[in-house]
Chain A
Amino acid sequence: MALLEVRDLSVVFRRKGEEPTIAVDGISFDVEPGQTVGLVGESGCGKSVTSLAIMGLLPSRGVDVSGSVSFEGTELLHLSQRRLDERRGRDLGMVFQDPLSSLNPVVPIGVQIAEVLQRHRELSRKQARSEAAELLNRVGIPDPARRLDEYPHQLSGGMRQRALIAIALACRPRLLIADEPTTALDVTIQAQILNLLTELVADTDTALIMITHDLGVVAGLCDEVNVMYGGRIVERAERHALFTAPRHPYTNGLLESIPRLDAPRGERLVPIRGSVVDNIPWADGCAFAPRCPNAIEPCWSVTPALVADDGRMLRCHNPVEVPVTAGEGVR
């Protein structure tokens, strides 16, 4: 049994007088302790909704969540609000893209961390405060004792993200979900934060779900990568395998369309045609078909299933051929 088992998770938003939005459409994956699992894909593919569903943070009205999310054998989707709050503080931590909106603007940083510590680890006030300073130090905030009394707006973006990570770590969670934790930050600050996360995962055996649209971040950080498109996983592979030989035309298209810092210059980018608005419903065939250079007849009429293919999972009727040479070094 894995630490976290997500099975057939679906999230549908319903609003009166509108077509329901299928944000997440039958997703399954596992996360083991100490493992970093990536969720990548472009805007609107369902990354954040997946993480919110796991954390039980979706609104209670107008949303249908189905499937199963089991954490150490406990089904999270059916937990009472109180039980879930407990779990969230203690076993599950989350770091969001925008630290400002997830910190309380009128409460000093130190107090926000100490509150979590007092609630979930039953420390005294004094203990909590000194532990909070220790945590700020751990996440690389200089002069932590002074920073404890500062308010979120007094910290820079990078510092706030560190503070948020400190809060998420306060209770030594077994699983940390980071949703675009560095997207709002500059690259040099991003490098600091990613380094911090990598260290933490290695030191504490925490499992990490890393959500990002940046394939570069994934390449350096994740053990296993799930590529999402239109609410479904279209390819899952170990990172080396995924990047040396992407098999799903969407994964392949993404890699060919992004400019690489280390690519020879003058090489033309190969864009993916159209945009997500061209998608067809998964129920009718492959959602990616209208944009796919590999699309064949069945793609327009038969929904492709996610099937095992040579050590990876693939949802495609006509995947990209394995280059003869590329496959060698990987296995």
Chain B
Amino acid sequence: MTDDVLVTVDDIKVHFPIKRGVLLDRTVGHVYAVDGVSLQVRRGETYGLVGESGCGKTTLGRALLRLVEPTGGSVVFDGTDVSTLKGEDLRRMRRRMQMVFQDPMSSLDPRQSVESLLVEGMRAHGLDKGKQATHQRLKELLAAVGLPESALRKYPHEFSGGQRQRIGIARALAVEPDLIVADEPVSALDVSVQAQVLNLLEELQDEFGLTYLVVAHDLAVVRHISDRIGVMYLGSLVEEAGSDELYERPMHPYTKALLSAIPVPDPEVEDTREQILLTGDLPSPANPPSGCRFHTRCPWRQPARCDTERPPLREVGSGHRVACHYAEEILAGTITPHEVEPELAQS
């Protein structure tokens, strides 16, 4: 393992049991929320995870922080295998990895003032060293996220959505983490306010040398903020590449479709671009398709192999990984897309 890697996720799996019966004591199946993901996040970079609703982004982020217990696989954080940590060691490790949530209102206790919200985490990790120092630290934190000092005595409901997200970020920063997992940090915000928070995240990264894992469904947001991007589909990574590379040379059919589906605020572009319209719905993660999980909707699917053999995530160029049997042929144009009959999603 190289030194510049902060997090190594190896074949991580999170399977939620589906319980039935009066006492919910029978397991009748599993939701394969995350089903074998391997990736590395480098120190100081922003890794973006994109994918559609239910593909397992949040669960992967939570598993990384061990807020949910993985079914299998490992997470190595700064040289330490987090999957085996317990008690005090786990708690100490947790300080270094913080989470920022989508909906700042529901993740901030409405009965606590901003001051008490911020001090809480510091206290839990023994970082409140005396009244004077703590106060100084609070002032710095607020300045860092662009809130006035008077905010300390206020309560979450007294702020706008964007300001609440700033409080959420300040709370994560309070314990001086190395890694921040931001789950849809701007998707609950008004468009005019999203940019404020995105810029803030970038500034803080420069200032404190933070590493980010940003989880979002909006590829334009993710591309803007990330150095590298992983695209998820039904619990697995289907493609990973540098942000520019992914946009300029998407290789997986799903990534291609996703990119072509995102509306661009420019009529010239909208009028001329070619869309790859996917038919049908996302299959259920409780009953994922055999072979390539995307084969039920893939316009490039080839008989037999795609339906039966699961393509591994393989390296196709420097820092570019893709999980498709025919990625090269598709890129070269030797395999062409065809019509797909929509299948009924079995729920």
Contacts and interface: CB of A to CB of B under 8 A. Distances in A.
B195 A270 contact: yes
B193 interface: yes
Interface stretch (A10-18, A26-34, A163-171, A272-280): A272-280
Contact of B263 (A219, A254, A272, A277): A219
Interface string B302-339: 00000000000000000000000000000000000000
Given A192-B277, A269-B199, A275 B193 contact: yes
A294 interface: no
A265 B258 contact: no
A270 B224 CA distance: 13
A198 to B, nearest CB: 11
Contacts of B341: 142
A275 B261 contact: no
Interface in A260-287: 260-263, 265, 268-273, 275-277
A269 B219 CA distance: 16
B74 interface: no
Contacts of B259: 261
Contact of A213 (B191, B257, B267): B191
B52 A259 contact: no
B105 to A, nearest CB: 13
B243 A195 contact: no
Nearest to B247: A261
Contact of A275 (B190, B225, B243, B280): B190
Interface residues of B, number: 53
Nearest to A216: B263
A195 B225 CA distance: 29
Contacts of A187: 52, 217, 219, 258, 261-262
Contacts of B220: 258-261
Contact of A142 (B194, B261, B280): B280
A291 B196 CA distance: 13
A159 interface: yes
Interface in B200-246: 217, 219-221, 223-225, 243-244
Contacts of B170: none
Contact of B192 (A140, A188, A272): A272
B301 to A, nearest CB: 16
B87 to A, nearest CB: 40
Contacts of B27: none
A308 B140 CA distance: 49
B182 interface: no
A158 B281 contact: yes
Contacts of A192: 277-279
In the complex, which of the residues B53, B265, B343 has the most CB atoms of chain A within 10 Å of its own CB atom? B265
Main secondary structure of the interface of A (DSSP, over half): helix
B152 interface: no
A218 B260 CA distance: 16
Interface in A135-177: 140, 142-143, 154, 156, 158-159
In the complex, which of the residues A243, A244, A261 has the most CB atoms of chain B within 10 Å of its own CB atom? A261
Contact of A257 (B160, B191, B258, B262): B191
B145 to A, nearest CB: 14
B122 to A, nearest CB: 28
B345 A156 contact: yes
A255 B262 CA distance: 16
B167 interface: no
B330 to A, nearest CB: 18
A188 B50 CA distance: 13
A188 B261 contact: yes
A278 to B, nearest CB: 9
- Measured as residues with beta carbon below 8 angstroms from the partner, the interface class of chain A is 35 or more
Contacts of B185: none
B4 interface: no
A255 B265 contact: yes
Interface in B159-174: 160-163
A291 B193 CA distance: 11
Given A220-B267, A243-B267, A271 B223 contact: no
A203 interface: no
Contacts of B271: 220
Contacts of B267: 219-220, 239-240, 243-244
A186 B223 contact: no
A253 interface: yes
A257 B219 CA distance: 15
B192 A253 contact: yes
B281 A159 contact: yes
A202 to B, nearest CB: 14
Given A257-B194, A276-B190, A156 B281 contact: yes
A215 interface: yes
Interface in B245-287: 247, 257-271, 275, 277-282
Given A187-B52, A219-B270, 19 more contacts: A142-B280, A186-B52, A186-B53, A186-B282, A187-B217, A188-B52, A191-B278, A195-B275, A216-B263, A220-B271, A243-B265, A257-B194, A260-B265, A261-B219, A261-B247, A265-B223, A271-B193, A275-B162, A276-B190
29 contacts: A43-B190, A158-B281, A159-B281, A186-B52, A188-B52, A188-B257, A191-B275, A192-B278, A192-B279, A215-B191, A216-B270, A219-B265, A219-B266, A244-B267, A254-B192, A259-B198, A259-B221, A259-B223, A260-B266, A261-B259, A261-B262, A262-B264, A265-B243, A265-B244, A268-B199, A270-B195, A271-B192, A275-B160, A275-B190
Interface of A: 42-43, 140, 142-143, 154, 156, 158-159, 186-192, 194-195, 213-220, 239-240, 243-244, 253-255, 257-263, 265, 268-273, 275-277, 291
User: Which 6 A-B pairs have CB atoms at the shortest separation, nearest pair first?
Assistant: A216-B263, A220-B270, A259-B224, A271-B195, A257-B195, A269-B195
